[in-house]
Amino acid sequence: MTSKLDEAGNTERTGFLVFLLLVTIVLVVIAWPFASALLWSTLAAIMFQPLYQRILAKWPRHPSRAALGTLAIIVIAVVVPAIMIGSAVVRQSIELYSSMRQGELDLPILFNSFYNALPAQLQQMLDNSEYAEFSAVQQGLEQFARESIGLVAQQAVAIGGSAFAFVLSLGIGMYVVYFLLRDGVSIGSSIRNAMPLPREVAQRLSDKFTQIIRATIKGSVVVGLVQGALGAVTFWVVGVPSAILFGVLMAIFSLLPALGPAIVWIPVALYLLVTGAIWQAVVVGISGVALIGMADNVLRPILVGRDTGIPDWMILVTTLGGIASLGLSGIVLGPLAAGLFLAGWAIYTEQRDGVAG
Report, as an integer, the average pLDDT of 258-276.
80
CA angle 303, 246, 151 (to 5 degrees): 120
Report, as an integer, the average pLDDT of 64-90.
86
User: At 143, is the pLDDT very low, low, confident or very high (cuts 50, 70, 90)?
Assistant: low
Report, as an integer, the average pLDDT of 191-214.
80
Residues 270, 114 contacting (CB under 8 angstroms): yes
- Average the pLDDT over each of 174-183, 227-236, 328-337 and give the range with the smallest value: 328-337
pLDDT digits (tens, 9 = 90+) for 304-314: 555 556 777 77
Helices (H), 59-162: 63-74, 80-101, 107-116, 120-127, 134-161
pLDDT at 327 over 80: no
* Mean pLDDT (the chain, rounded): 77
pLDDT digits (tens, 9 = 90+) for 97-126: 666 666 555 555 556 666 566 566 665 665
Domain extents in the chain: 32-123+133-194, 198-357
Nearby residues of 15 by Cβ (< 8 Å), 6 or more positions away: none
Q: What is the pLDDT of residue 305?
A: 52
Whole-number Å distance between alpha carbons of 156 and 91:
8
Q: What is the pLDDT of residue 184?
A: 84
Whole-number Å distance between alpha carbons of 304 and 308:
9
Q: What is the pLDDT of residue 73?
A: 92
Phi, psi of 54 (to 5 degrees): -65, -45
**pTM (global) more than 0.75:** no
Q: pLDDT: is 155 or 265 the higher one?
A: 265
- Average the pLDDT over each of 127-131, 219-223, 268-272, 338-342 and give the range with the smallest value: 127-131
Whole-number Å distance between alpha carbons of 344 and 200:
12
Q: What is the pLDDT of residue 54?
A: 92
Residues 230, 291 contacting (CB under 8 angstroms): yes
Q: What is the pLDDT of residue 2?
A: 56
pLDDT digits (tens, 9 = 90+) for 38-74: 888 888 888 888 899 999 998 888 889 999 999 999 9
Percent of the chain with pLDDT over 90: 8
Whole-number Å distance between alpha carbons of 59 and 78:
24
pLDDT digits (tens, 9 = 90+) for 155-180: 555 555 556 677 788 888 899 999 99
